[in-house]
Structure 1
Amino acid sequence: MQLKNSAQRFGALAKFFHWTSAAAFIGAYIVVYYVIWFMDDESPDALPVLNIHWVLGVLVGALVLPRLVWRLLDVQPDDPPGSALEHRLAHAAHWGLYGLLILMPLTGYIGTGAPTDFGLFSIPSFRDTAAFEWISSHYGLTWEAFEAPIDVVHHFVGKWIAWGVVVLHIAAALFHHRVRKDDVLTRMLP
């Protein structure tokens, strides 16, 4: 399998970034909805489960920058047959997905007051960083005053925007595969 993209297909590295990000993003949703539906999210028993959500979110956030760099450096497969408007909408939707891949992990991390434990190492909570200390001292914000609006953004985008964008992305891939019968879906499959 080729590492780099071609005019016809995505390469192994682009596929790795796509499917790893997708699995981590969807996995983070499954975990957090498990906590919401089946646990008391304020209970200490929920913290280890929420930690899985945080680990997956950090993974999404850690992958997005190299993914974007690779996208900008590597050739992109040719657009399938379609109108200029369809292509512009598809490109806008893809950049919207990248925006989500940045916004959700960023707001998730800076709005979480507990460390993220990866087992072998731990990432301190944003509350315990020099960055928050600087924000707090310069703007006179307590953690509670800082965290509340960040959480509102994270939860609103996660609940009302992200699912729609992801479902639109999946529906478009299936539309191309089933209706248009082009290679848009298959060129990204492993």
Structure 2
Amino acid sequence: MIPWKNTTMEFGAIAKLFHWTGAAAFIAAYAVVYYVIWFMDDTSPEALPVLNVHWVLGMIVGLSVLPRLLWRLVNVQPDQPHASDAEAWLAHAAHWGLYVLLILMPLTGYIGTDAATDFGAFALPNFRETALFGWIETRWGITWEAFEPPVDAIHHVVGKWIAWIVVALHVAAALFHHVVRRDGVLTRMLPGRSAA
């Protein structure tokens, strides 16, 4: 039986749930937005419901990061396999790079979108209509027309170029540990698997 909390040998059920739910939502958000880019006119009214699915998935990713980080901080982390100091540093940096990505992409996506995110039972207002943007506009005299393009540019540049590299390195590292090192790093995060 898989423990709920992490142990020194493996990740617990909660950490695995956060990992795989976030990964699935992140990948699905990419699939949806590339469907719009490749097969639809993203300015047409027909694209809006499909883009809304992208926004919902992005919000799921973004809103799950804080509890995921808190869970990581209050839990023991499984022991790292034997590695050089450089490898340990790279692994640590890569994990925190993933967290930055999981925060930056949903944040820039939300604050750079001029449309509400409809979850069905409720809708999250667009950032332009929030009190926070009203304060930014009043305090610094920044209009939406000046605010949105650089935020949108960050979202697209990171999403189009940086995110792929970070995710690809994460997958490659997991496969390297599994195929070359055979040290159990990948299997201890697989759902339904227990080291016990």
Whether TM exceeds 0.5 here: the answer is yes
Q: Which stretch shifts more, 66-75 or 138-147?
A: 138-147
C-alpha separation in 1, matches of 2:190 and 2:117: 31
Question: Displacement, 1:144?
Answer: 1.5
Amino acid across the alignment from 2:113: T
The match for 1:159 is 160
C-alpha separation in 1, matches of 2:144 and 2:97: 30
The match for 1:180 is 181
Q: SS of the counterpart of 2:188?
A: coil
C-alpha separation in 2, matches of 1:148 and 1:136: 15
The match for 2:31 is 30
The match for 2:194 is none
Question: Displacement, 1:138?
Answer: 1.4
Question: Displacement, 1:15?
Answer: 0.3
Amino acid across the alignment from 1:183: G
The match for 1:51 is 52
Question: Displacement, 1:46?
Answer: 0.6
Q: SS of the counterpart of 2:189?
A: coil
Q: Deviations along 1:110-163, whole A, 9 cap, x unmatched?
A: 001100000011100001100111111112122111111000000000011000
Question: Displacement, 1:49?
Answer: 0.4
Q: Deviations along 1:56-109, whole A, 9 cap, x unmatched?
A: 000001100000011111000000121111011001000000000010010000
Question: Displacement, 1:164?
Answer: 0.4
Question: Displacement, 1:44?
Answer: 1.0
Amino acid across the alignment from 1:164: I
- Please, what is the CA RMSD of the aligned residues? 0.6
C-alpha separation in 2, matches of 1:155 and 1:18: 24
C-alpha separation in 1, matches of 2:19 and 2:183: 19
TM-score after normalising by structure 2: 0.96
C-alpha separation in 2, matches of 1:44 and 1:80: 51
Question: Displacement, 1:11?
Answer: 0.2
Amino acid across the alignment from 1:163: W
The match for 2:123 is 122
The match for 2:80 is 79
For 1:69-108, what aligned pairs fall within 5 Å after superposition? Answer: 69-108=70-109
Amino acid across the alignment from 2:16: K
For 1:124-139, what aligned pairs fall within 5 Å after superposition? Answer: 124-139=125-140
C-alpha separation in 2, matches of 1:41 and 1:141: 26
Question: Displacement, 1:6?
Answer: 0.4
C-alpha separation in 1, matches of 2:53 and 2:104: 18
Number of residue pairs aligned between Structure 1 and Structure 2: 190
Amino acid across the alignment from 1:35: V
Name segments (4+ residues, structure 1) moved above 4 Å: none
Structure 2: runs of 5+ lacking an equivalent: 192-196
Q: Deviations along 1:35-63, whole A, 9 cap, x unmatched?
A: 11111111111100000000000000110
